[in-house]
Structure 1
Amino acid sequence: MIAEKAELPAKFKKSQEDAAKVAEAAFARLRAAEAEFYAAREANRLAALVSGGVGHQLGMQIKAIDDELLAGADPRIADYRFEIGNIQGRARLADKGWIEHVEKKEEGLWGRVYFDREWRNNLEDVSSAMTLLDKTKNDLDALALSALSTAEVTAALRKMTDDLIPVLNKLSSMNPPWLDEFDEVRPPNEDGKPAYPYPLDAPQY
């Protein structure tokens, strides 16, 4: 056993040398991988900066064009949008509920007819109005960035009013903004009064 013990270091010398070479190669590979990782991370950071810079330049140029288009847009678009914003605030608070008497009939051939009370509300009408008002604001934003003539803008605004009338009238007869005989934007008429204060087909002076 003493002799065997003395021979063990020589027996494992070759294995230890081989293991040391494997460990050295693995360590070198690890160092190379670490160096590549940090180099790749730095390259990614620089690429992100370059990409962000290009995106920023693109956004700034688009914004400059949009600002110029908005500055030259028909002022009635901004006036109409202002009125829509006011209407949105009112429409958001226009929900109400009420009790309605509904005629019903009992089952059977000789069932009696009676009236029952049921709870009703206008939440669906409020939701429809808010959706259309949001769409109108988006359409106005797009209109301000378009290249339409004065007549085309007038037609677009009149159509918005026509589309809003039946929806807003369900909310206690609310009215949309409208264009007068001189094609100028006017605030909504008082609730309960017609959306248009004059016949659109009447002679205009």
Structure 2
Amino acid sequence: MRRLLVACVCALGSACGGLGHTASAATGHDVTRWPSCEALGQTLGALVAGLDDPFTTTFVDEPGVLDGMECRWGQPQDDDAEGLRAVLRGGDIRLTIQAGPFGPVPARLRHDDPRAAAIDGFGQSDDGRYDPQAQVDVFAPRVVAGNLRVAVEQMPFMFSDAPGHRLTVDDAVAAAVDIHRALRAESDE
């Protein structure tokens, strides 16, 4: 019944940003059936390699309407750190998955990306900027496909000599598309 309702709403175009997505593009809202953060970490691969085990948060604003999950992989804490280095652990990776439906996204915040288009989606930014080579800041891009919105972001504060790489918008979009695919594979089984 839920898939039929999603298909009807998407056919009208209101909840799917006017793209006419089909119900097959939407994963069910039952967060408990989504892969674990540990499994999704395998999908993220090198982005989270060497980071602490993930901390998981699930949330349900309205059951079946806006549900989500957040996974955070932290930089290992340096036992000898002092001052700011003891407090700020920049470089953590956070994965946020939200299930809608969502309202239309204004055109200035929508961005065409062939990887997102391959899963019937698009990129979305909060500030209208979408430079693939830019380092991700507090406004990480999201990939929206069907009723799922996925963002992969990195805590922006890092010391210049901190280990790990700097997450670019291109990296974040590629990872978000991979997470969409992993969620779909899980829901198709």
Coarse TM-score class (shorter-chain normalised): under 0.3
TM, length-normalised to structure 2? 0.26
Give the structure with the larger helix fraction.
1
Larger Rg belongs to: 1
TM, length-normalised to structure 1? 0.25
Give the structure with the larger strand fraction.
2
